[in-house]
Amino acid sequence: MKKIFPLILCILIVFSCGELVPNPDDNPENMKRADKSTSVRIDRLNRTDTPEFAIIIHGGAGTILKKNMTPEKEAAYKAKLEEAIRVGYEILKNGGSSLDAVTKTINVMEDSPLFNAGKGAVFTNAETNELDASIMDGKTLNAGASAGTTIVKNPIDLARAVMEKSKHVMLSGKGAETFAEKQGLTLVDPSYFHTDKRLESLKRVKEREAKAAGKVDTESAYLDFYDADIKNAKFGTVGCAALDKNGNLAAGTSTGGMTNKRYGRVGDAPIIGSGTYANNASCAVSSTGWGEYFIRAQVAHDISALMEYKNISLKDAARQVLNKVKALGGDGGIVAVDKDGNMVADFNTAGMYRATMNDKGELSIGIYEQ
């Protein structure tokens, strides 16, 4: 009898523990709750192929042909793209935020004369450099931008300061520079942005204007936006989109605008929804191209909206929107990453400087059309 009693006790304990699992026949509502919690666990276990984080960058799109590129110049661009993206990758790898990754990555490209942003900004008609930038947080939908600054060394830093330390979204010109000074950002003499290469480009455009001026009225000779040579030139705007380990997306864009611009022209780069957009519900996007058309098409936001409202893939959304830009008469490209870590670099030009890195440390760099 003493041997049987422990056996009976064990059987009772096993059966009583079994009652902890909801019986669908007894309580269907409990079963629904159990299924929900189980599905969450299964989802986490099955996400082995979903990247923990991802980062993608661009350094401008346009008529970038291998036949016009020296081996040395190509190597320089690839080296700088790799340097920039590895900065953001390390931040993400170590658990840093997508906002930090975007900011610091763009800083590297802003500090290089290779790109039309920061140090390498193109010249206006008045032979000055006017810089624009924007950044957006996909978690909060907060955003910041600056336009037409001439003394802020890293415009993306100013855009972020506007986002985080002001009640505004965009500041411009002297007011933006005053705000930058109050925030302790690095200011430089305007001559810092001077590069001989960019100045020579401006002079060539002005020469074409002068030749055209004798044939048409003065205003028609203003070829900044519609001259074929400008349209087909490389657009060197820089940008970055990133997803961090916490599932937060961010995007940023920085540029010197368009060669020979005047009248205080502002392109798409500092305009939220055109040059930059990020939303944790869909994706993060940075654009580069012919700004007038990217503004009209609201490129960055439109890609996000197609994903969120029509439930289509990032790749398909990007292609649809760039096709719309092309139909309007504009060209350029985008880089983007969605909430699942899928990355897309798409463009309707002959090339786009670009690079990607995933959580496995796999690096991909591209320049020409594949």
pLDDT for 132-164, tens place per residue?
Answer: 999 999 999 999 999 999 999 999 999 999 999
Residue 283 CA to residue 337 CA, distance in Å, equals 6
The per-residue b/e assignment along 76-100, b for 16 or more CB within 10 angstroms, e otherwise, is ebeebbbebbbbbbebbbeebbbbb
Q: Which residues pair with 286 in a beta bridge?
A: 276, 335
- What amino acid is encoded at 275 in this protein? G
Weakest mean pLDDT among 16-30, 115-129, 141-155, 303-317: 16-30
Q: Two tokens at 130?
A: 């006017």
Q: Two tokens at 6?
A: 């422990």
Q: Is the pLDDT of residue 222 over 60?
A: no
Q: Is 45 exposed, middle or buried (0-12, 13-18, 19+ CB in 10 A)?
A: exposed
Options 3.40.50.850, 3.60.20.30, 1.10.3720.10, 3.20.20.70; CATH for 53-368 is 3.60.20.30
Residue 121 CA to residue 188 CA, distance in Å, equals 14
Residue 79 CA to residue 86 CA, distance in Å, equals 11
Element at 135 (helix H, strand E) = strand 131-137
Weakest mean pLDDT among 22-31, 105-114, 138-147, 307-316: 22-31
Going by pLDDT thresholds of 50, 70 and 90, the confidence category of residue 216 is: low
Q: Is the pLDDT of residue 370 over 60?
A: yes
Q: Two tokens at 155?
A: 């415009």
Residue 321 CA to residue 307 CA, distance in Å, equals 11
Determine the average pLDDT of the residues in 106-110: 98
Closest CA to 243 of 96, 76, 132, 355: 96
224 CB-near residues (< 8 Å, 6+ apart) = 125, 205, 230, 258, 259, 260, 261, 262, 265
User: Rounded to the nearest 10 degrees, how much is the dihedral formed by the CA atoms of 36, 40, 45, 47?
Assistant: 130
The per-residue b/e assignment along 10-28, b for 16 or more CB within 10 angstroms, e otherwise, is eeeeeeeeeeeebeeeeee
SS3 171: strand
Pair 338, 282: CB distance under 8 Å: yes
**Domain limits of the chain?**
4-48, 53-368
SS3 339: coil
Closest CA to 193 of 278, 108, 131: 131
Pair 353, 117: CB distance under 8 Å: no
Residue 27 CA to residue 21 CA, distance in Å, equals 11
CA distances from 193 to 76, 122, 154, 171, 352 (A): 19, 9, 11, 20, 23
Residue given tokens 């090339």 in the structure block: 351
The predicted pLDDT at position 49 comes to 66
Q: Is the pLDDT of residue 351 over 90?
A: yes
Residue 269 CA to residue 308 CA, distance in Å, equals 23
Q: Two tokens at 244?
A: 């961090």
Closest CA to 225 of 196, 195, 268: 268
The predicted pLDDT at position 227 comes to 44
Question: What is the average pLDDT score of the chain?
Answer: 85
CA 211 to chain centre: 38
Closest CA to 56 of 297, 341, 282: 341
Give me the phi and psi of 194, to 5 degrees please. Answer: -75, 125
Residue 293 CA to residue 291 CA, distance in Å, equals 5
Active-site choice (149, 237, 276, 288):
237
Q: Is the pLDDT of residue 38 over 50?
A: no
Q: Is the pLDDT of residue 3 over 60?
A: no
Active site residue 105: no
Pair 272, 287: CB distance under 8 Å: no
The predicted pLDDT at position 257 comes to 94
SS3 273: coil
The predicted pLDDT at position 214 comes to 65
